[in-house]
């Protein structure tokens, strides 16, 4: 087959920009991929898919030049094409119009037997989908997930700008652990020992001394050995840190953000939510809050006993999810299990000024008030078996006017799971990295 060059052909309209009232009878140029073809002998229908929807291109043999109709016969699913044609009203077409082609360019060939059917008619398991992710992303389900994800990060940035947060980017190559030594990925960094960042924790705290309120949306890396449906080894984290604030203030920011994002998605992604059959509700503010101790009581009343100090693991979280619907906070966790930077309560040091944001049984975020006194921080580092001198680059900033501050980190993919109603985190990450998956 003779392939054509794009030359000076450029798209004039995306599929969702074709307004019948102004464009009927006019010639436009569309570009995209063949989603499907249907042959009725003298009539051929081609569905072209672009990023914003679909267009039906109708080839009536009787009205077209022979070579154009013949060319349409060589179209195969997933071929990239460009079409110049006239917009014509057609009530039978799903979009209410069709395009009658004047010219067609086939811009590349495709494999005869593709490893995945992006129309979703032939079902594939998740591994096959991930192995052939680019084709999978063209399916309406996966595409809807990532359009929603795009909407979420856009809305988040809007929210942060409106609330006067400054966007930062902190190093991904770091010298010390922030979230416990066991989850670090070591890397070869010339003659020094280095790691991939587990979180921007120390840097975001330092930057509050300059910019007051900061946020970062960036990848982080955790060498978690286990394989679950909600853990990955590389993930996008949404982090904030605020000066002159405590854990209650940053919980307020978090619930407002979640409310804003869910409302935004509900209002702007109706089609995608329908495709995914997601029935996410806009949560009421404020979100319910249960202290850790109250949560244990609640579990106890529902025949799930935990001892004070225990972590609330997967089974217990699932139990909670069966009792509480939507988002809620679990606050004031035992200080013992919390990272060194979390502030213990002054009146009751065994309890910390910390919280997790849960959605049903899934932990979406965690955060708290930070220790901002250098001596306390050094003591907590020692108590946790860490070497304060390894943190000199961080500790010295505490002598330069460190304000009281607080913040949180939110796992973006887990929020997307909730919004899109997906059960496996791998579905909502474009190229997931887990214990065994390193490609594509
Ligand atoms: P934490 O370690 O609790 O806190 O992480 C914050 C949130 O990130 C998500 N998350 C993960 N998601 C998928 N796979 C993983 N392996 C994974 N690990 C964590 C969760 C979790 O709630 N520095 C603190 C935050 C802070 O206090 O500001 C931190 O990293 O949704």
Protein residue with its CA nearest to atom 14 in ligand 1: 231
Give the span between the Cα atoms of 99 and 241, in whole angstroms: 52
Q: Is 363 in the pocket of ligand 1 (CB under 6 A)?
A: yes
pLDDT recorded at residue 182: 66
pLDDT recorded at residue 72: 96
Would you say residue 420 lies in a domain?
A: yes
Helix boundaries (H) for 163-243: 201-211
Contact assessment for residue 13 and residue 51, using Cβ atoms and an 8 Å cutoff = no
pLDDT recorded at residue 181: 59
Q: CB within 8 A of 384, min separation 6: which ones?
A: 339, 340
140 lies in the same domain as 247:
yes
- Among 106, 124, 156, which residue terminates a domain? 106
Q: Is 432 in the pocket of ligand 1 (CB under 6 A)?
A: no
pLDDT recorded at residue 178: 79
For residue 348, give the CATH number of its domain. 3.30.930.10
User: CB-hemisphere CA count at 13 Å for 376?
Assistant: 15
Q: How far is the CA of 239 from the centre of ligand 1 (A)?
A: 9
The minimum-distance atom of ligand 1 relative to the CA of 232 is: 14
- Among 91, 106, 121, which residue terminates a domain? 106
291 lies in the same domain as 396:
yes
Q: Is 222 in the pocket of ligand 1 (CB under 6 A)?
A: yes
The minimum-distance atom of ligand 1 relative to the CA of 201 is: 23
pTM over 0.75: yes
Q: Is 256 in the pocket of ligand 1 (CB under 6 A)?
A: no
Q: Which two tokens stand for residue 95?
A: 């979009």
146 lies in the same domain as 99:
no
Q: How far is the CA of 410 from the centre of ligand 1 (A)?
A: 6
Tell me which of 241, 360, 365, 429 to substitute to probe ligand 1's pocket, judged by most ligand atoms within 8 Å of the beta carbon. Answer: 365
139 lies in the same domain as 92:
no
DSSP string, 197-216: -S-SHHHHHHHHHHHSEEEE
Cα dihedral: 171, 172, 177, 183 (round 10):
160
pLDDT recorded at residue 95: 86
202 lies in the same domain as 309:
yes
**Of the candidates 232, 181, 196, which has an alpha carbon nearest to the alpha carbon of residue 340?**
181
Give the span between the Cα atoms of 55 and 48, in whole angstroms: 5
Would you say residue 9 lies in a domain?
A: no
Tell me which of 170, 411, 434 to substitute to probe ligand 1's pocket, judged by most ligand atoms within 8 Å of the beta carbon. Answer: 411
Would you say residue 5 lies in a domain?
A: no
352 lies in the same domain as 414:
yes
Contact assessment for residue 364 and residue 326, using Cβ atoms and an 8 Å cutoff = no
Tell me which of 366, 413, 416 to substitute to probe ligand 1's pocket, judged by most ligand atoms within 8 Å of the beta carbon. Answer: 366
**Of the candidates 222, 246, 198, 264, which has an alpha carbon nearest to the alpha carbon of residue 415?**
264
Question: Range of 281's domain?
Answer: 134-428
Give the span between the Cα atoms of 335 and 314, in whole angstroms: 20
Q: Is 183 in the pocket of ligand 1 (CB under 6 A)?
A: no
Per-residue pLDDT of the chain (440 residues; tens, 9 = 90+): 668 999 999 999 999 999 999 999 999 999 999 999 999 999 999 999 999 999 999 999 999 999 999 999 999 999 999 999 999 999 988 889 999 999 999 999 999 999 999 998 899 999 999 999 999 999 999 999 999 999 999 999 999 999 999 999 999 999 888 786 568 999 999 999 999 999 999 999 999 999 999 999 999 999 988 889 999 999 999 999 999 999 999 999 999 999 999 999 999 999 999 999 999 999 999 999 999 999 999 999 999 999 999 999 999 999 999 999 999 999 999 999 999 999 999 999 999 999 999 999 999 999 999 999 999 999 999 999 999 999 999 999 999 999 999 999 999 999 999 999 999 999 999 999 999 999 99
Would you say residue 31 lies in a domain?
A: yes
159 lies in the same domain as 36:
no
142 lies in the same domain as 256:
yes
Q: Is 367 in the pocket of ligand 1 (CB under 6 A)?
A: yes
Q: Which helix (H) or strand (E) holds 276?
A: helix 270-276
pLDDT recorded at residue 1: 67
168 lies in the same domain as 305:
yes
Would you say residue 159 lies in a domain?
A: yes
32 lies in the same domain as 156:
no
Q: How far is the CA of 138 from the centre of ligand 1 (A)?
A: 30
Q: How far is the CA of 220 from the centre of ligand 1 (A)?
A: 9
pLDDT recorded at residue 430: 98
Would you say residue 3 lies in a domain?
A: no
Would you say residue 321 lies in a domain?
A: yes
- Among 64, 89, 106, which residue terminates a domain? 106
Protein residue with its CA nearest to atom 15 in ligand 1: 231
For residue 41, give the CATH number of its domain. 2.40.50.140
Give the span between the Cα atoms of 342 and 247, in whole angstroms: 10
Q: How far is the CA of 125 from the centre of ligand 1 (A)?
A: 28
Report CA 124 to chain centroid distance, whole Å.
23
Contact assessment for residue 32 and residue 81, using Cβ atoms and an 8 Å cutoff = yes
Domains contained in the chain, number = 2
Would you say residue 193 lies in a domain?
A: yes
159 lies in the same domain as 273:
yes
Q: Is 170 in the pocket of ligand 1 (CB under 6 A)?
A: no
142 lies in the same domain as 99:
no
**Of the candidates 301, 356, 304, 358, which has an alpha carbon nearest to the alpha carbon of residue 334?**
356
């Amino acid at each position: 087959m003779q392939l054509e060059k794009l030359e000076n052909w450029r798209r004039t309209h995306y599929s969702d920009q074709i307004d019948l009232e102004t464009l009927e009878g006019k010639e436009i140029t569309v570009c995209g991929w063949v989603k499907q073809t249907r042959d009725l002998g003298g009539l051929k229908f081609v569905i072209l898919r672009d990023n914003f929807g679909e267009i039906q291109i109708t080839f009536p043999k009787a009205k077209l030049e022979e070579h154009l109709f013949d060319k349409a016969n060589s179209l195969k699913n997933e071929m990239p094409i460009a079409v110049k044609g006239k917009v014509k009203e057609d009530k039978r077409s799903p979009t209410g119009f069709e395009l009658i082609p004047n010219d067609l360019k086939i811009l590349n060939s495709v494999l005869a037997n593709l490893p995945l059917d992006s129309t979703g008619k032939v079902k594939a398991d998740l591994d096959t989908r991930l192995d052939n992710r680019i084709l999978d992303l063209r399916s309406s389900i996966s595409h809807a997930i990532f359009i929603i994800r795009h909407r979420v990060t856009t809305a988040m940035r809007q929210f942060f700008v409106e609330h006067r947060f400054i966007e930062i980017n902190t190093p991904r190559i770091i010298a010390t652990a922030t979230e416990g030594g066991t989850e670090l990925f070591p890397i070869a960094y010339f003659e020094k020992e280095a790691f991939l960042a587990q979180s921007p924790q120390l840097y975001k705290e330092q930057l509050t001394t300059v910019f007051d309120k900061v946020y970062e949306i960036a990848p982080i890396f955790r060498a978690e050995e286990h394989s679950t449906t909600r853990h990955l080894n590389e993930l996008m984290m949404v982090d904030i840190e605020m000066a002159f604030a405590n854990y209650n203030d940053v919980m307020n920011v978090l619930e407002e953000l979640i409310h804003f994002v869910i409302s935004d998605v509900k209002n702007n992604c109706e089609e995608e939510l329908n495709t995914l059959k997601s029935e996410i509700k806009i949560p009421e503010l404020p979100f319910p809050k249960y202290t850790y101790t109250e949560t244990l009581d609640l579990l106890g009343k529902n025949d799930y006993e935990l001892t004070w100090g225990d972590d609330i693991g997967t089974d217990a979280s699932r139990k909670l999810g069966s009792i509480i619907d939507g988002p809620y906070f679990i606050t004031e966790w035992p200080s013992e299990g919390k990272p060194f930077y979390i502030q213990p309560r002054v009146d009751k040091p065994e309890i910390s000024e910390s919280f997790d944001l849960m959605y049903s049984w899934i932990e979406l975020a965690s955060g708290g008030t930070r220790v901002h006194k250098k001596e306390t921080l050094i003591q907590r580092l020692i108590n946790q078996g860490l070497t304060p001198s390894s943190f000199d680059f961080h500790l010295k900033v505490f002598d330069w006017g460190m304000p009281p501050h607080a913040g949180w980190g939110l796992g973006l993919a887990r929020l997307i799971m909730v919004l899109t109603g997906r059960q496996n985190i791998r579905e909502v990450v474009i190229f997931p990295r887990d214990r065994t998956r390193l490609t594509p």
